[in-house]
Structure 1
Amino acid sequence: MNMTDDTPATPVSLRLLPSRMLSLVAMHSDRLVSEGLARADARKWHYAALVALREAGPASQAELSRRTGIYRSDLVAVINELAERGFVERAPDPADRRRNVITITPEGLRHVRRLHTLIAGLQDDVLAPLSQPEREQFSAFLARLLEHHSGRGSSPEQD
């Protein structure tokens, strides 16, 4: 039996734990997105790096790591993969030749648009049982939880 499967044998008190349900949905969502991106010969980190470059412009590897949350050591491999495919260019930073600046290419922009469409469809798959207002409410709840648990939420003293 898969650890992510609930069966009638799973105790109700375990099945109804919000933290457990959130973990199971997150694992399912992660698998759906990873498999969907793999069919497009991409990975989540590819999408994250390309979106960050598209939205905020060229960046050093360190800055791109901060924007995406991808560890610098892992980001080097991601940038190499994207550069090999012609989606990004790496050039010395004119202000500091020891650093590289990563820039998205026109082909990278086309690719990220394709991935964005794919990701939107995958989000629809993940959230299929929810209506549009429920999706918006669910996303707002998740954002609030994330904000709270990442240390940016308000403390009881601030309320």
Structure 2
Amino acid sequence: MTRAEAADLPDDGAPRVPDRLRRRASRQLSQLTTRSDRLINEGLARVDARKWHYAVLAALQDHGPGSQAELSRRTGIHRSDMVGVLNELAERHLVERAPDPADQRRNIITVNTRGRHHLRRLDQVLDELHDELLAPLDPAEREQFMGLLTRLLDHQEGTA
């Protein structure tokens, strides 16, 4: 438990967060994001992976080969960070780089067989972690929750 989490609990263990904060969607989403990030990061670390590895492998598997810039747009990973992620994935022999026939100055990144197997393993790990994160919700509530989150994000991305 972090100091911030401990500060939310008085000696008797009951929450001391003011109700007006607990009623704010922004605060609740922020708190859930913090806990979700920790759960996912720790879970992926146990299999020697990171969220960015998963994002890049999933983008390559779902949308096909792409340049570093394309992968940055697909995943939301900053272009300067993408270099490091691709280096890690290449060192692990999960992706292949080849010169772009249309522009020899850039490389096209492709997920290989080993990378596809690794992605399937990460899918399993993330399924288990998401089950843990969403444990209090039944299947219908999980589907509704994901639908609402998607709708909120789609709306925010449309106005950003």
Q: Same fold (TM over 0.5)?
A: yes
Alignment match, 2:145: 138
Residue 35 (structure 2) pairs with residue 28 (structure 1): yes
- How do 1:78-93 and structure 2 match up within 5 A? 78-93=85-100
Alignment match, 2:3: 2
Aligned partner letter, 2:139: Q
2:45 aligns to what SS in structure 1? helix
Superimposed CA distance per residue, residues 13-72 of structure 1 (whole angstroms, 9 cap, x where no aligned partner): 222322211110111011100100001100000000000001111111111111111111
Alignment match, 2:75: 68
Q: 1:99 aligns with which of 95, 106, 113?
A: 106
- TM-score when normalising by structure 1: 0.91
Deviates more, 1:18-27 or 1:7-16: 7-16
Alignment gaps of 5+ in structure 1: 154-159
Task: Give the distance between the partners of 1:51 and 1:145, measured in 2 at CA.
Answer: 23
Task: Give the distance between the partners of 2:155 and 2:143, measured in 1 at CA.
Answer: 18
Report if the CA contact (8 A) 1:60-1:102 is conserved.
yes
Aligned alpha-carbon RMSD (Å):
1.5
Alpha-carbon offset, residue 90 of structure 1: 0.7
- TM-score when normalising by structure 2: 0.90
Alpha-carbon offset, residue 152 of structure 1: 5.4
- How do 1:33-48 and structure 2 match up within 5 A? 33-48=40-55
Alpha-carbon offset, residue 151 of structure 1: 2.1
1:58 aligns to what SS in structure 2? coil
Task: Give the distance between the partners of 1:57 and 1:147, measured in 2 at CA.
Answer: 23
Superimposed CA distance per residue, residues 90-145 of structure 1 (whole angstroms, 9 cap, x where no aligned partner): 11101110110001111101100000110111111110000000000000110111
Deviates more, 1:144-153 or 1:101-110: 144-153
